[in-house]
Structure 1
Amino acid sequence: MSSVSTRIGIITSEGTAKVKEGDLSAGWTSVHDNVSQLVLDGTRIGVVTRERTAKVKEGGLSAGWTSVHDNVDQLVLSGSRIGVVTSEGTARVKEGSLSASWTDEYNGIGWLALGGARIGVVSNTGTALVKEGDLSAGWTTVHDSAYRLVLAGSRIGVLTVTKTALVKEGGLSAGWTSVADSVQQLVLAGSRIGVLTERGTAKVKEGGLSAGWSDVQEDVVLLALAGTRIGIITNNVMAKVKVKVKEGDVSAAWTNESENSAMVVTLPSGTY
Structure 2
Amino acid sequence: MNDQKKNLPTIQQQLIPHPAIQLLRQVGQIEALHMMETVSGAALAQIYIDIKESGAYKGFTYETPDGKTETISTLDRFCEVFLGKSGRRCRQLHEHVTLMGQELYETAERIGFRTRDYAAFKTLPEGDQEAVRAALEKGDAETAMSTLAGLLAKKDKALADTKKKSGDLERIIDNKDTRIAALDGELDRLSEENRDLKRANDLPSTPVERISPYIGEIAVIGEQCKVRLARIDQLRMGALELTAHPDIEPDSPDAEALNAALARLHTAMNEQLTDIETMAGNVMNQANATLPFEYQDDD
Give the TM-score band, short-chain normalised.
under 0.3
By percentage of residues, which structure has more helix? 2
TM norm structure 1: 0.21
Structure number, greater radius of gyration: 2
What TM-score comes out, normalization by structure 2 length? 0.20
Higher strand share: 1
